Structure formats: structure tokens, C-alpha cells
Amino acid sequence: MTDPVDIFREEALEHLSNLEAALLELEQAPTSAEEIDAAFRSMHTIKGAAGMVGFDHLSQFTHHLETLFDRVREGQVELTAPLINQILEARDHIERLLDDPSPSVELQAVSAAQIIQFTEVTGEEHAGPERQETGHASQTAAGEARLYRIDICPAADAFRDGFDTLPLLKELSGLGEIHVTTRLGSSFDPRHFEPETCVLALSVALTTHASRESIEDVFIFVGDEWQIDITAITADEDCRLGDLLVDQKVVAPDALEQVLEQQPRAGELITAAGLAAPETVQSTLDEQRFIREQQKKQRKATPEQSIKVPQHKLDQLMDQVGELVILQARLEQLALESDDERASSLAEELSRLSTGLRETTFDIRMLPIGSTFGRFRRLVRDLANDLGKEVVLETEGAETELDKVVIDRLSDPLVHLLRNSLDHGIETPEVRREKGKPARGHLWLSASQHQGQIQILIRDDGAGLDTERILSKAIERGVVQPGADLDPQEIYQLIFEAGFSTAQTVSDVSGRGVGMDVVKRSIESLQGRVQLDSTLGKGTEVCITLPMTLAIIDGLMTGVSRERYVLPLSTVEECVEAVPETEDENSGVRLIRHRDALIPCLRLRDFFRVGGQPPEIEQTVVVRVGEALMGITVDEVVGHFQTVIKSLGRLYQGAGGVMGATIMGDGQIAMILDVGELVEQARK
């Protein structure tokens, strides 16, 4: 007997009798793990084999039984007497299905009826047969479908190595609804066209119930040179065409910004400006449409459900995740040192898990800042009434997400700044009219995110800051020596000094003994900075820059002697080796040449007074804070690490140039540099 179909029939009958035996045992002991396993395996084997010999319908049918026993095994479904009866009926039905690879319509109808019964029990979505072929069981039974963008850039050798993208796409489509856009990768050069070289880049929008892991698993066997980026797209996310193009790295962000400044119809403009081929724009437009539709579906399907969690539990979770990340780094190092394959595979697995866990935890903590905006609107309205002023508050970027802890601690400083603007900034309607301004004043509050930083702007069209008055006040208060020569920026900074208040009379609005110094300190405790700009008679703008989270940053680890220092990667421009240096003649500040300009450079060894001898060749990390560039010279650049920020505590509050510490893989501690502070110090 060599016909696989015959072998399959015989094998299937054997499994069916195994199933029957198991069911009869289960009738007596419904939780026997051994019997459940046996039943599961019999269905599993029939399913797999049936597909191989062309019994597709049977394969799909047994899939549902397999799922059922899987749920039983997980304890999600209880094997009741009626359910066992149903399964026995299904068993008999399978026997009939064995006769013919393409069963009669009647038999198919029986299958359909039974499947419905089983899916009711398992809670598995009853999808069309073409969908059941792949990946159904890897979906979670319930929950909200999520939208992902998956960017696939196969290695140039992918085709030569015998890889194909189609099976991957098929597998992805098994996870949910997909929309694929293809384009030529950036490496494509028509002058050197080689048919076997893969220059394809794919972008897949996928709506799925499956977990991120399930998506990652699809790509587990592709070559290491492939680039796979999986990004979750939230329903709130703006899916403007321009953003998509930038995300797909078709258009550089700067180029896009320039075009956007010239406004409407971005698609046409981007094409016209020659930034992207019309097809690319079109395919991206398609993708955009797909994402919009999916998002609409998502919004409709699931009015967002939420639960309240006490803050301390979130903090605890974050702490523990932080510990886990540290532990994982230690394990990785240990695995590396011990050269034990099992240990490294464990470490790798743990790394995957902890990365996922960390992302999820972050995600939980992220809230749109808009939740506080509503409160402000009310505050401004009431306050304006009290002060007899007419003020409109306009907000923008309410959807900008940041760490819940940051939002909570940001609330007071923001209230204070808004009060300040209302109290000292915006004039009464009479005064405004005299000055030829509209009687109604404007307050703008906006939040935006770029490069991992959050920027919050508070702007008013009020009186602006009077530098002379500030200066005379500062002299009066002894903050500044009489006759000091200060530029406007320096004078503005004075209002952040302790105990400084510019209001002529202490009103009960902002004159509560808390001044701008408190605002500055609160922002700094959030690792942020405050900048202020003003034009007399026109208005004032306060700009707050904050990190998105206080818990973990991407860091660049550097070393000086045996000390380790971490620079936030968001500030790093580039690393250079042994640069020619000069000294500023007046100040003696060390200067290095960087892209045709001289920039100040600070040698960490000297600045921090680290002992030991510098190596022959030093490394310099060029950092950027706002517009300011600076070099930081270290002994060596160790590499890029996920850095869990630990506070240095009250005792070290105000430690210059350091914003926290982190624990490294070997248990030692590294300082995390406050680059903004260092740049400021270097200026002085």
C-alpha cells in the first residue's frame, strides 16, 4: 500500500478510535490532562495529514476540534456531557468525510452546522473557509484588533538565497486583513540593474487580533540582513500622507516640512517637487486610505474600554520592568562570558520578552496630554472673568502622548504659567484697545513631539516682558549687582530666580509666593528645560522641552578611565576620533573643528576630575542641544544601550551635569549625563 490517501485513511481511522477512547475516559474524568492531550493530538494529526493529501475540507473541519481541545487544555472550556456528545457526533462525521476529498454539499452543510456549535464554545471567530487555512489559532479569542505597519526590506541576496516574500505575505494575511504596498528600495540603481538582486521594499498594513509576537514569528527565519520594522499604529495617530511617506523613508522629513509650509494637497506637491515618484505617492495614498478605514472600524467596533489602576501599581510595574531590563543585561553579559549556547539562547529569549514587556508597560503609562487641557480651558475662563479680561485659550496637539507621571507633574507648572500669562501678560480690554490690539486676548497652548522629545509652548499676545523693569527689580532684590550689563535673554532668565515676582501688586492669582523659580525647578526635575522669549507689547512665549518618559532612554555608553558615562542618544550628533583642536584666545575654551565650524569641546576627564591617564587616541562625541553644538571628549565610546534611569535621590539634587544613574550589566553604576547642563556650563 503506497497510495498516501489510503495510508491517510487508515491512519485517520486509528486516530478516530483514539479520540473515541479518550472521550469515553473524559466522560468519567473530564480534566484528565493525558486524555485531553491524546484527543488534541489525534485531531492535530488528522488536520495536518488531511491537508497534505488533499482533504482540505476535512483539514478545516478538524481544525475547529483541535482548537476546541486546545481551549480545554488551557482550562478555558469545560468538557461537559453535552459537549462530549457533540464531539462524538463530529467524530462520526469525520469518518464520513474520509470517503471523498471533496465532500458532497450535504456533508459540507453538516460540517458548517457543527463548526458553528464548536466556535460558540471556543469563542473562536467563525471566518470564511479561505481564512481558516492559515494562522487562525494564533489569534487571541477576543480583544480589540490592532493595526500594524510592517516595513519589509529583504536583503539584496534574498532571491539568490532562495527566499521569497510571497509566503510571508500569505502568512501575514492569515493573521488578519492586510494591505500591501511595494516600491523599489533606496539602493535601486537602473544603471546597474541585476535581475537577481532584490531591490524590493514592502510595506504592509495589517489589522489583526494577533499579538506582536505572532507577527514577529512570521519573520523568524528570514535572513539577518533583512530589515523588518513592525510599528503599532494607534487609532489616534495622525495618518497624513506626508507622515506615511516620511515613515517609509521615501521623503526626508526636512524636505517634507518645506513643502508643507507651502501648504495644500501634499500629494501633488510632493510629486511635483520631485521628492517621490507619482506611483509611490499613489500607493501610499492607497495605504493611507486602508489605514483610515481600519481605524474607523476600530473606533466603531470598540468604544475604548479602560480600567483604573492606582498610580503606585503602575510605578511598581515600571520599577520591576526596569529591574528586569537590568537583569537581562546581566544575563546577556554572563552568557557572553561563559560562551554557553544554552545560556545565550535563554538570554536572547528573555531579551525578546523583556523588550516586549517594556514596550507594553510604557504604552500603558502613556496618556494624551489633552486630558489636562480641558481643565485648563475652564481655569482660563474663570480666571479671565475674575480679572475682568477677555481671553480665548486655543490648544493644539492634545493627542500628544507622554508618560502619565510627567503629565501629572506638569500640571502645576502649566497652571502657573497660564496664570502668569493671564495675570501679567494679557492686558485688560481697555488697555488693549488703546494699544490698537483686539480687545480679546489670545492664549495658545500647544504640545508636539519630535525626536523623542515633547515640546510644550505657552504663548500669549499680551504686554510682553519689560526688560528694564525686570532688571531694576532684580537689582532691588539683590539678585543682580547694579550696573550689570545683561542681554535680554539673560534678563528673562532672572525671572526664574528664587523669590522673583514682576507683578506690581501681589494679586491672589499668581502672587502666592510661588514664582517662576518653582516652575523651573519642577520642569528640571522632569529632566526638562524652560526657555522664554518675549517681545515688549507683543507677547511672551514659554517653551518647555521634556523627555517622553522618565524611566528608560536610549543611551550611548562612553568611558573615561574606569568610569562609565551615558549620553542620551537623542542628543548625539556623531562620534569622531582625534580631532584637531585649538583654544579660544579670550576664554581659553577648547575648540574643535566640526563641519567647517569651530565648536566648544569639553574633556570629560578634566571637567569631572577623573583620575588616570588619557589614551593616545581619544573619542569625541558631538552633541546638540537646541541649536548649540558641543563636543564631549571621552576615552572610548562603548556602544548603544537601553538605559534605565535611576534617580540619584535628594542628596544629589543639583549635581552638575548629571541627571541620574544607571546600573550596568556587571552591577556597576554609570552616570547619565545631563547634556543640556553641560552645554550651558561650557558656554560660561
Could you say which residues in the range 24-43 bind other proteins, by CB under 8 A? Answer: 41
Binding-site member from 8, 373, 492, 496 for other proteins (CB under 8 A): 8
**CB nearer to other proteins: pick between 2 and 263:** 2
**CB nearer to other proteins: pick between 5 and 24:** 5
Q: How many residues bind other proteins (CB under 8 A)?
A: 73
Shortest distance, position 261 Cβ to other proteins, whole Å: 43
Binding-site member from 221, 300, 306, 616 for other proteins (CB under 8 A): 221
Q: What are the backbone dihedrals phi and psi of residue 605, each rounded to the nearest 5 degrees, phi first?
A: -55, -45
Stretch that binds other proteins, among 58-66, 72-80, 296-304, 404-412 (CB under 8 A): 58-66
Shortest distance, position 70 Cβ to other proteins, whole Å: 7
AA identity, residue 677: E
Query: Given its phi and psi angles, is residue 264 left (phi above 0), alpha (psi -120 to 50 degrees) or beta?
Result: beta
Does residue 7 touch other proteins according to CB under 8 A? yes
Measure the CA angle with vertex 149, ends 143 and 153; round to 5°: 140
Binding-site member from 75, 128, 162, 588 for other proteins (CB under 8 A): 162
* Cell numbers found for residue 93: 462525521
Distance CA 473, CA 478 (A): 8
**CB nearer to other proteins: pick between 87 and 402:** 87
Shortest distance, position 122 Cβ to other proteins, whole Å: 12
Find the radius of gyration of the CA atoms of the chain: 32
Distances (CA, A) of 633 to 266, 595, 642, 674: 43, 17, 22, 15
**CB nearer to other proteins: pick between 32 and 45:** 45
Does residue 555 touch other proteins according to CB under 8 A? no
Instruction: State which of positions 224-253 bind other proteins (CB under 8 A).
Output: none
Distance of CA 119 to the CA centre of its chain: 35
**CB nearer to other proteins: pick between 234 and 333:** 333
Burial of 553 (C-beta count, 10 Å sphere; 0-12/13-18/19+): buried
Stretch that binds other proteins, among 24-32, 47-55, 380-388, 457-465 (CB under 8 A): 47-55
Distance CA 223, CA 518 (A): 54
Closest CA to 418 of 499, 516, 335, 330: 516
Instruction: State which of positions 189-218 bind other proteins (CB under 8 A).
Output: 213-214, 217-218
Shortest distance, position 226 Cβ to other proteins, whole Å: 14
Binding-site member from 637, 663, 675, 679 for other proteins (CB under 8 A): 663
**CB nearer to other proteins: pick between 217 and 399:** 217
**CB nearer to other proteins: pick between 246 and 327:** 327
**CB nearer to other proteins: pick between 472 and 653:** 653
Instruction: State which of positions 569-608 bind other proteins (CB under 8 A).
Output: 607-608
Stretch that binds other proteins, among 66-74, 105-113, 241-249, 392-400 (CB under 8 A): 66-74
Query: Given its phi and psi angles, is residue 492 left (phi above 0), alpha (psi -120 to 50 degrees) or beta?
Result: alpha
Shortest distance, position 353 Cβ to other proteins, whole Å: 11
Shortest distance, position 645 Cβ to other proteins, whole Å: 10
**CB nearer to other proteins: pick between 136 and 389:** 136
- Looking only at the bridges linking them, the beta strands covering 552-560 and 658-663 are unpaired
Closest CA to 243 of 446, 407, 448, 444: 448
Does residue 517 touch other proteins according to CB under 8 A? no
Binding-site member from 16, 35, 63, 557 for other proteins (CB under 8 A): 63
Distance CA 78, CA 88 (A): 16
Distances (CA, A) of 182 to 151, 204, 222, 384, 646: 10, 9, 18, 55, 44
* Cell numbers found for residue 442: 489670545
**CB nearer to other proteins: pick between 53 and 335:** 53
Residues 276-305, mask of contacts with other proteins (x by CB under 8 A): ------------------------------
**CB nearer to other proteins: pick between 578 and 669:** 669
Shortest distance, position 488 Cβ to other proteins, whole Å: 28
Binding-site member from 21, 32, 51, 396 for other proteins (CB under 8 A): 51
Distance CA 364, CA 357 (A): 11
3-state DSSP assignment of residue 14: helix
Shortest distance, position 550 Cβ to other proteins, whole Å: 14
Instruction: State which of positions 309-368 bind other proteins (CB under 8 A).
Output: 322-323, 326, 345, 348-349, 352
**CB nearer to other proteins: pick between 345 and 355:** 345
Binding-site member from 103, 135, 441, 462 for other proteins (CB under 8 A): 135
Binding-site member from 48, 143, 374, 615 for other proteins (CB under 8 A): 48
Binding-site member from 13, 32, 45, 570 for other proteins (CB under 8 A): 45
Instruction: State which of positions 428-447 bind other proteins (CB under 8 A).
Output: none
Does residue 641 touch other proteins according to CB under 8 A? no
Does residue 66 touch other proteins according to CB under 8 A? yes
**CB nearer to other proteins: pick between 381 and 562:** 562
Shortest distance, position 174 Cβ to other proteins, whole Å: 6
Instruction: Tell me which long-range contacts 248-252 makes (C-beta under 8 A, separation of at least 24).
Output: 248/151, 248/183, 248/201, 248/203, 248/284, 249/186, 250/183, 250/275, 250/276, 250/280, 250/284, 251/275, 251/276
Binding-site member from 124, 460, 563, 635 for other proteins (CB under 8 A): 563
Does residue 524 touch other proteins according to CB under 8 A? no
**CB nearer to other proteins: pick between 330 and 377:** 330
Check: CB of residue 386 under 8 Å from CB of residue 424.
no
Instruction: State which of positions 642-661 bind other proteins (CB under 8 A).
Output: 646-658, 661
3-state DSSP assignment of residue 448: strand
Q: Which residue has the cell 489525534?
A: 42
Query: Given its phi and psi angles, is residue 178 left (phi above 0), alpha (psi -120 to 50 degrees) or beta?
Result: beta
Distance CA 97, CA 108 (A): 9
**CB nearer to other proteins: pick between 37 and 476:** 37
Stretch that binds other proteins, among 84-92, 128-136, 299-307, 622-630 (CB under 8 A): 128-136
Query: Given its phi and psi angles, is residue 451 left (phi above 0), alpha (psi -120 to 50 degrees) or beta?
Result: left
Task: For 303-337, give one letter per residue: b (16+ CB within 10 A) or e.
Answer: eeeeeeeeeeebeebbeebbebbbebbbbbeebee
Check: CB of residue 362 under 8 Å from CB of residue 317.
no
Closest CA to 424 of 504, 513, 488, 542: 504
**CB nearer to other proteins: pick between 345 and 472:** 345
Instruction: State which of positions 365-424 bind other proteins (CB under 8 A).
Output: none
Distance CA 463, CA 501 (A): 16
Does residue 137 touch other proteins according to CB under 8 A? yes
Q: List the beta bridge partners of residue 629.
A: 624
* Cell numbers found for residue 539: 507677547
**CB nearer to other proteins: pick between 383 and 672:** 672
Does residue 626 touch other proteins according to CB under 8 A? no
